[in-house]
Amino acid sequence: MARTNVAQFFREVRQEASKVTWPTRKETALSTMMVFVMVVLAAIFFFVIDQVIAVAIRFLLSVGM
């Protein structure tokens, strides 16, 4: 493995970082809102599924008695 000195490493890091296209404030806000919406939808989905499974298990346990 080739060894590089510290100065060269930081020059290369700076060069690569300059190639990055950073999102705008609007894109970041929109992405953040989409994440929150998806989290809420996932929470609702799993809550409903949990309730359905709980009702099914209660029914199955009551039938066995």
Instruction: Look up the pTM and report it.
Output: 0.66
Decide if pLDDT at 65 tops 70.
Answer: no
Domain locations along the chain: 24-65
pLDDT at position 2 is: 67
CA–CA separation, 36 and 45 (whole Å): 14
From first CA to last CA, the distance across the chain in angstroms is 70
CA–CA separation, 18 and 13 (whole Å): 9
pLDDT tens sequence across 9-63: 999 999 999 999 989 999 999 999 999 999 999 999 999 999 999 999 999 999 8
Nearest to 17 by CA among 25, 26, 9: 9
pLDDT at position 19 is: 92
User: From the CB of residue 55, how many other CB atoms can be counted at a distance below 10 Å?
Assistant: 10
